[in-house]
């Protein structure tokens, strides 16, 4: 476990999980090769917690800023 630029960085292998708070678990379910750096995550959380991919949030923010002139 380390911290880089104010972010917690964890090494987690397939089958392990990270717990966030009391009721959110993020499991690593698949890891592709070193040349393809993608991961598959499984998230267990209450239905009232909104879960979005970062690229979706960034796209929405950029679109909203475009209309604020």
- Residue 17 is encoded by which pair of tokens? 């999980």
> Regarding predicted confidence, which is higher, 54 or 65?
54
Predicted TM-score (pTM) of this structure: 0.71
Q: Where are the domains of the chain?
A: 2-67
> Regarding predicted confidence, which is higher, 52 or 4?
52
Is the Cα dihedral 10, 45, 59, 66 positive or negative?
negative
Residues 6+ apart with CB under 8 A from 2: 8, 9
| CA torsion, ordered 24, 30, 32, 36, to nearest 10 deg | -30
Q: Residue 22: pLDDT band by 50, 70, 90 thresholds? A: very high
Q: Residue 69: pLDDT band by 50, 70, 90 thresholds? A: low
Contact 43, 23 (CB under 8 A): no
């Amino acid at each position: 476990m380390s911290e880089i630029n104010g972010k917690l960085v964890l090494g987690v292998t397939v089958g392990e999980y990270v717990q966030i708070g009391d009721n959110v678990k993020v499991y690593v379910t698949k890891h592709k090769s070193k040349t393809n750096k993608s991961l598959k995550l499984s998230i267990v959380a209450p239905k009232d917690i909104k879960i979005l991919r970062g690229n979706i949030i960034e796209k929405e923010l950029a679109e909203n800023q475009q209309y604020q002139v």
